[in-house]
Structures are given as structure tokens and as C-alpha cells.
Amino acid sequence: MDLELGSEYEAFRQEVAAFLAAHWPPAKETDARAAASAFRERAVARGYLYRSIPKAYGGSEQAPDPLKGRVIREEFARVGAPGELQGPGVSMLVPTLLACGADWQKERFVAPTLRGEIVWCQGYSEPGAGSDLASLRTRGALEGESWVISGQKVWTTMAHLADYMFILVRTEPDAAKHDGISYLLLDMKQPGVTVRPLKQMTGGREFNEVFLDGARTPKDWIVGERGRGWQVSRTTLKHERDTVGGQSRTEDMFGKLVELAKDAQREGQPALASGDVRQELARIEAYVLAQRYSAYRQMSMDLAGQDAGLIGVLNKLNGTMIGHHIANLAQDLIGDAALLMPPQGRGGNRRGDEKWVNQIMGSLGVAIAGGASNIQRNVIAERGLGLPRDGAEGQKGTGA
Ligand SMILES: Cc1cc2nc3c(=O)[nH]c(=O)nc-3n(C[C@H](O)[C@H](O)[C@H](O)COP(=O)(O)OP(=O)(O)OC[C@H]3O[C@@H](n4cnc5c(N)ncnc54)[C@H](O)[C@@H]3O)c2cc1C
């Protein structure tokens, strides 16, 4: 495998750097949010963001080229320029709609989601249906021109801020477990939807329970065919795994860990000078590099039009495992500060040791989100190694 990007991509890197030098950062007095939006618009027009999304839906419609995507991410990160928006809408629903949605759904929902004008949450998990997702019981019944939905969802990230939910509901109660599910879009701002926050151990309130009591959605707000929602949900889950186990996020965290080791003191000198800290950093770096090369492999397979599905599963599992190693060493380095309650709210006020407390606690959560690590291991064992199937059917990681 040739790991050099080559002169074509180095020239592209110069081009991106020149664009950034001209447009980022904005003038100091500008409103930060407006400046980020204006910058994103320019970057889309230039072909640097939302590259796989057609222009008609707000993307920049570039030829597939994961290496260019990588160069763009690296250059944007180098100067702290805003990249593509994150969240379930952009990273999970948009690719699902592009693959499985009706034209009118793409026209109506994709561009405003990319611009951050509408916010989505993911309504999959229920009490009793997490790893065994296909056991979900929330019902959807067609009454005239509307689906009427009743049941409960749980662990719904950002439901309290969301305008819409993409939701799995059981529409064919008599069909086999996987065949009775439909994938619907639902307006969250209606009387039949009640959102109750769940307080996390970080002190934050990003999760929710969502109670659905006769919530309504139009008949054609269904993605894919009636009763075939399980197949649609697999597309979403693939993108969820890629987001959670993303390699640039892991590398970014590792870079911060090295900085922490330089700043933290041990016996009157930087912790980085200590042999055991260096040893552990080297061990983690080996994982980080292995993850990088695994991501290159995934890219090469994508370029060759091959299905890299299982490599994505491996990357999710390894990415979250590395995050856990990083959190453990950070916990050791910040010492007693690890006992602090993390600061509330997202981004903004996190400083110094405190921000690591969020990372330490959060690293446990990402190993569960998008399919728990044990489930990913089951997938690798069954599909990759050909071991006998696990008893539980319809696991979230498998999409089986
Ligand atoms: C940070 C975060 C964000 C999330 N956001 C959302 C969201 O926005 N929307 C949404 O719908 N859901 C969300 N979830 C829920 C998530 O998808 C579920 O937590 C996950 O699928 C696991 O389900 P569960 O919590 O019910 O655990 P369970 O399925 O009850 O599993 C409990 C434990 O048993 C293990 N286990 C279960 N079955 C097996 C098996 N067959 N073999 C081996 N081990 C097994 C699991 O690995 C786990 O350790 C989020 C979760 C987290 C942590």
C-alpha cells in the first residue's frame, strides 16, 4: 500500500491552504455563527464541503475522492476552520435519504439540514430494544392519510432541540420481526410528542426519553417501502458507525493527550519526561497509526467500489477502544482533577483539566452508541471469522 499522497494531492493541499488563507479566520468583530455559515457557503461553492451531495440538494457534487476529502479535513483542522456540520441529521439521515429517500424528501429536507436550519434526532432505541433493535415495539398505524404513532423511545440524543425525528416503528405487527418495521420522518413539534431529559453522569442533559402518544405524520413521510424499514436503517447505522469511530477525531484526541503530557507535572518535571508515560503514549500511538492505515484501507476499497462494511465495524470498535485508552492515561495525568464535576454545556467553557473529565466519562458512552462494542465483536466473529451465530437476532451492530 502506497501511503504517500503524491504530487497531485500535494498541489491540491496548496490550493486548499490558499483558499483558507484568503477566507479564514474572519474579521474579529464578525458574529461567529454568521461567519461560520458564510465560510461554509464559500467552501461548498469551492467544492470542499458536502462533496458527495448533489448541488441540487445543497452539496458541492464532486467526483468521489476520499484522499481529497482527507486533505481538506486536515487543512481545515490545521487552521481551525469550520467543516461540515455534525449531528444525526447531517451524518446519518442525509446519506440515508440520498440512498433510499423519495425525490421530494431529498428536495425538502437535505439542503436545510446541511445548513443547520433544521435539526434531527434518531428514534431507534427503546426500553427493551437497544442491541436487539429489531424487537422495537413502538407502533405506527395508517389512519387515512396519516401514520399514527404510539410508544416510547429512549437515549434520544438532542431530541429536546430537534425539529424532526427519523424513527423506526412497527407497522406490520403480524409480520416477522425484521419485516414489520417502517422508517418514518416525524415532526417533533406536535402535541403527541413529549420529550423528557435524562441527566448523564457528566451532568449534561443531551439524552432524552421520547413518549409518543398518537403522534401523527403524513402517509408519504416514509423512507423506503412500508415494512422494509430495517433495510433502510442499515444505511443509517453504517454512517453512524463511521461517525462514532472516525479516525480524524481519534487523531485529534491523541494530539491533545500529547500536549497534556507536556503540560502536566510529575515530580517537578513534565509528565512527558517520565518513562512510563512515554511508554503508554507510544503504545496508544501504535493503535492510532494502525487505525489510520485501516482508514486508508477503507478508502482504497471505497475507491475500488468494494464493500468495506466489516472494516467500518472494526474501525468503530477500535476507534472507541483507543478513545478509552486515551481517557485512561489522561485520567492518570490530571490526577485529583479527575474527581471534578465536568463543566456543563457543550464546547465553550471547557478549559484545562476539566475538559478531560468529559472525555473520560464520554469515552464509555461512545463505545455503546451506534451499537455496543460486544455487538461489533459479534459481527466481526460471525461475518469476518465465520464463527457460529449469536443467539440474539437483529442486533443493532449487525443490521442483520
Ligand atoms: C452516547 C450515546 C448516544 C446515543 N444516542 C442514541 C440516539 O440518538 N438514538 C437512539 O435511538 N439511541 C441512542 N443511543 C442508544 C444506543 O443505541 C444503545 O444504548 C445501544 O444500542 C445499546 O442498547 P442498550 O443501551 O439497550 O443496551 P443493551 O442492548 O441492553 O446491552 C447491555 C449490554 O449487554 C451487551 N449485549 C447485549 N446483547 C448482547 C449480545 N447478543 N452479545 C453480547 N453482548 C450483548 C451489550 O454489549 C451491553 O454491554 C445512544 C447511546 C449512547 C451511549
Report the atom number in ligand 1 closest to the C-alpha of 390: 41
User: Which amino acid residue places its CA nearest to atom 4 of ligand 1?
Assistant: 369
Give 167 Cα–ligand 1 centroid separation in angstroms.
16
Separation of alpha carbons 5 and 197, rounded Å: 46
Highest mean pLDDT among 28-37, 75-84, 167-176, 353-362: 167-176
HSE (CB half, 13 Å, CA atoms) of 302?
Answer: 16
pLDDT digits (tens, 9 = 90+) for 293-339: 898 888 778 777 787 778 888 988 999 999 999 999 999 999 888 88
**Is residue 394 predicted with pLDDT exceeding 60?**
no
Angle between helices 229-244 and 309-334 (to 10 degrees): 40
pLDDT band at 270 (very low <50, low <70, confident <90, very high): very high
**Is residue 79 predicted with pLDDT exceeding 60?**
yes
Q: Is 374 in the pocket of ligand 1 (CB under 6 A)?
A: yes
Residue 396: the pLDDT is: 59
CA dist list (Å): 13 to 10, 21, 84, 135: 5, 12, 18, 48
CA 88 to chain centre: 7
Residues in CB range of 32: below 8 A, 6 or more apart: none
Residue 219: the pLDDT is: 98
Going by DSSP bridges, is the β-strand pair 265-266/120-123 parallel, antiparallel, or unpaired? Answer: unpaired
Beta strands in 237-276 (DSSP E): 265-266, 269-270
Give 130 Cα–ligand 1 centroid separation in angstroms.
5
**Is residue 100 predicted with pLDDT exceeding 70?**
yes
pTM, whole model, 2 decimals?
Answer: 0.90
pLDDT band at 241 (very low <50, low <70, confident <90, very high): confident
**Is residue 223 predicted with pLDDT exceeding 70?**
yes
Residue 347: the pLDDT is: 43
As a whole-number percent, the residues of the chain with pLDDT over 70 amount to: 93
CB neighbours (10 Å) of residue 10? 12
Boundaries of every domain in the chain:
7-84, 92-228, 245-369
Q: Which of 71, 50, 69 is closest to 60 using CA atoms?
A: 50
HSE (CB half, 13 Å, CA atoms) of 366?
Answer: 27
Separation of alpha carbons 249 and 238, rounded Å: 17
Q: Is 396 in the pocket of ligand 1 (CB under 6 A)?
A: yes
Average pLDDT over residues 98-115: 97
pLDDT band at 202 (very low <50, low <70, confident <90, very high): confident
Report the atom number in ligand 1 closest to the C-alpha of 127: 26
Give 369 Cα–ligand 1 centroid separation in angstroms.
6
Place of cell 479516525: 247
Topology of domain 92-228 in CATH is Butyryl-CoA Dehydrogenase, subunit A; domain 2 (2.40.110)
Cβ–Cβ under 8 Å, residues 394 and 177: yes
pLDDT band at 398 (very low <50, low <70, confident <90, very high): very low
**Is residue 400 predicted with pLDDT exceeding 70?**
no
User: Which amino acid residue places its CA nearest to atom 20 of ligand 1?
Assistant: 130
Pocket test for ligand 1, best of 361, 368, 373, 378 (most atoms within 8 A of CB): 368
Residue 279: the pLDDT is: 97
Residue 389: the pLDDT is: 84
Mean pLDDT, the chain, rounded, equals 90
Average pLDDT over residues 164-178: 96
Average pLDDT over residues 178-200: 96
Residue 391: the pLDDT is: 65
Mean pLDDT is lowest, of 47-56, 211-220, 231-240, 282-291, for 231-240
Q: Which residue has the higher pLDDT, 244 or 45?
A: 45
Q: Is 240 labeled as catalytic in the residue annotation? A: yes
Residue 375: the pLDDT is: 92
In what helix (H) or strand (E) does residue 154 lie, and over which residues does it extend? Answer: strand 146-154
CATH class for the region spanning 7-84: mainly alpha
Topology of domain 245-369 in CATH is Butyryl-CoA Dehydrogenase, subunit A; domain 3 (1.20.140)
Beta strands in 8-95 (DSSP E): none
Cell digits for 375?
455487538
pLDDT digits (tens, 9 = 90+) for 342-352: 665 544 344 56
Q: Is 397 in the pocket of ligand 1 (CB under 6 A)?
A: no
Residue 2: the pLDDT is: 57
Average pLDDT over residues 171-192: 96
**Is residue 225 predicted with pLDDT exceeding 60?**
yes
